[in-house]
Amino acid sequence: MRKFALSLALTVLYSLAPAFAADSAENIRASANLSFNNILNQLTADYAKGLETPAQSAAPELVQAAQDGRYWVTAYAADSHARTRLLEAGLDIVEIQKDRVSGLIRKDALPSISGKGLVIESMPLEEYAGRHFKDFPAADAAYHNYKETTDLLNALATKNSDIASLTSIGKTIEGRDIWCLRVNSTAKGAAASPKPGALYIGNHHAREHLSNEVPLLFAVWLMDNRSAPEVRKYIDTLDIYIIPMLNPDGAEYDIRTGSYKWQRKNMRVNSDKTIGVDLNRNYDSWFGGQGTSHYPSADTYCGPSAFSEPESMAIKKFVEARKNLKTLMSYHSYASSILYPYGGSDADVPDAQDKKVFVKMAGEMGRLTGYTPEKSSDMYIATGDTCDWAYTTGKIFAFTTELEGDSFYPGASIIDKTVKSNVKAAAYMLSVTDNPYKIVQ
Ligand SMILES: [Zn+2]
């Protein structure tokens, strides 16, 4: 079962290990609020505080919040093609097991799969949420919301103004800025750079809050360790971009009442008045094909046309304007896997050398995180995703990391371990960004 994939102990010494310990006392004093270790310690302290809250007291709040007409369904699906068909029927696949999947579907779409005898178990989302909640916003205050994310990025850029700059790459449908921290020792803002580029994106999907923490804390780690020789080399020779929160509208909606909404999509008001387009089905890579829904109410709704959404359009413009980008990582949760193209087709990428690079990079990042490396479509076929588009458009070695956990809301205790192992994988990506082909030569 994918979600229970063994997290292998990281026994191999990693070349950047000293950088993790590079937090000198002086450093911590100078930037009490910005140090990587201090922030992780604070997250742990907040979690401990959260544990003092009796779980029962907040559960009804969560249960009430999830009453939105969706059902949690477990259905038979023996292979990637069967899973793809379920996606197209409107099932938002959340968990994959050997012969079955579980996920969310709207009540009106449920008969399309129950009528085929595929449903093993179904229950209203509020019932499922009541049984399986891990945490609730009060105890998850350690996670960074939009304002906290913005403030932290601002503070990083201000404190490291010689090498970092913060820009908005566009506005969301509700008018929020989509922030990008750039790390480059010679170029600021939107100025062009000849250096090879790496791009990290988080939070395409609103409820995947951990996928904001990882790139955000990676930015903190980079700045915290900027004097360590390996990191210094990356900062001097590469053009590094970090966009931790691509879908702040959805992320804010998910938490704004103090209880989770299980929101996946952005906050577009669709033609039928339902809310949201699935941003990771909205890119122009086999747009609207397999593994996506054309029903606006579905959680995997691809939108009326490719790049119909300002958030995905912002990424399109950003990437197209930066021909120096060589690598890309898009963070999601939760499956504990490192995925490489294609996602929208069963086919392998046609260039044999490129395939070797994808497999090798995914394998190494899998080793560093304990996640399973695999071709994205081996899970299910999903058209219109970021990575297929980025590879096809810009020959960028683009990966999806499905972070760990057994829920979209795994609590704050998971942040520390997840961030630390994924920072190693993110740093590995930097180590090959100068020339990804060097690892297969
Ligand atoms: Zn996702």
Please write the tens of the pLDDT for every residue from 317-358. Answer: 999 999 999 999 999 999 999 999 999 999 999 999 999 999
How far apart (Å, rounded) are the C-alpha atoms in residues 144 and 107?
32
Nearest 10 degrees: CA dihedral of 281, 283, 243, 419?
40
Which residue range(s) make up the domain with 77? 67-132
How far apart (Å, rounded) are the C-alpha atoms in residues 405 and 403?
7
290 and 376 co-located in one domain: yes
pLDDT in tens, 28-38: 334 457 889 88
Question: CA 314 from chain center: how many Å?
Answer: 17
CATH of the domain at 90: 3.30.70
Q: Is the pLDDT of residue 112 over 70?
A: yes
Of the candidates 132, 150, 169, which is a domain's last residue? 132
Structural domain includes residue 59? no
Q: How many domains does the chain have?
A: 2
Q: Is the pLDDT of residue 139 over 80?
A: no
Phi, psi of 2 (to 5 degrees): -55, -45
Query: 3-class SS at 387?
Result: helix
Token pair for residue 178? 């989509």
Ligand 1 centroid, distance to 338 Cα (angstroms): 13
Token pair for residue 196? 């090879």
Ligand 1 centroid, distance to 283 Cα (angstroms): 14
Of the candidates 98, 132, 166, which is a domain's last residue? 132
Q: What is the pTM of this model?
A: 0.86
**Positions marked catalytic:** 402
Ligand 1 centroid, distance to 207 Cα (angstroms): 8
| Residue 227 and residue 136 in contact, taking contact as beta carbons nearer than 8 Å | no
Ligand 1 centroid, distance to 211 Cα (angstroms): 8
117 and 183 co-located in one domain: no
Ligand 1 centroid, distance to 355 Cα (angstroms): 24
